[in-house]
Amino acid sequence: MIKINKILNPVDGSDHSIRSTEYAIELAKLMDSEIVLLHCHDRFPIVVAEPNFQKAVNQITKASEELVKPFIEMFEQGGIKVDVRILEGNPGNKIPEVVKIEKTDLIVMGSRGVTSFKGLLLGSVAHQVLNKADCAIFITK
């Protein structure tokens, strides 16, 4: 039997990521797996001077923390312990990096995110992750 010790669940607040979290919870229960919840936010502005730079950092950080709260609550309600990672940068690049660092066995993610384009079969982030990640990937709709 395949053992999945650690599941990475990247989220962006979209309906697709909510559904992926529901699947991650069920898989974690079935496999007795650890969960890493990941959110990648936009890069901090580098051309903004103080004190506006710190204000921008604070706003992005607060927005990211607010975004992951309902996902953390979903895991808690499902009785699943979750480790949260909030990172700066392109999720298509960061997700595969986190896979290596965390030694993730499975990624459970939505097929499209908040910036989905109508008509795309697979979102650009999911497509990047499929090509770059070194583990199994479970993509939800």
Quick check: is 102 in a domain? Answer: yes
pTM score: 0.90
Quick check: is 120 in a domain? Answer: no
Q: Which pLDDT tens digits describe the chain residue by residue (141 residues)?
A: 789 999 999 999 999 999 999 999 999 999 999 999 999 998 887 776 777 888 888 999 999 999 999 999 999 999 999 999 999 999 999 999 999 999 999 999 998 765 544 444 456 888 889 999 999 999 998
The domain total for the chain is 1
Quick check: is 125 in a domain? Answer: no
Quick check: is 35 in a domain? Answer: yes
Quick check: is 131 in a domain? Answer: no
Quick check: is 71 in a domain? Answer: yes
Nearest to 23 by CA among 78, 66, 94, 105: 78
* Number of C-beta neighbours around residue 119 at 10 A: 5
Quick check: is 28 in a domain? Answer: yes
Quick check: is 134 in a domain? Answer: no
Which CATH number characterizes residue 88's domain?
A: 3.40.50.620
Domain ranges, residue 38: 6-115
* Tokens linked to 2: 């395949």
CA atoms within a 13 Å half-sphere pointing along the CA-CB vector of 116: 19
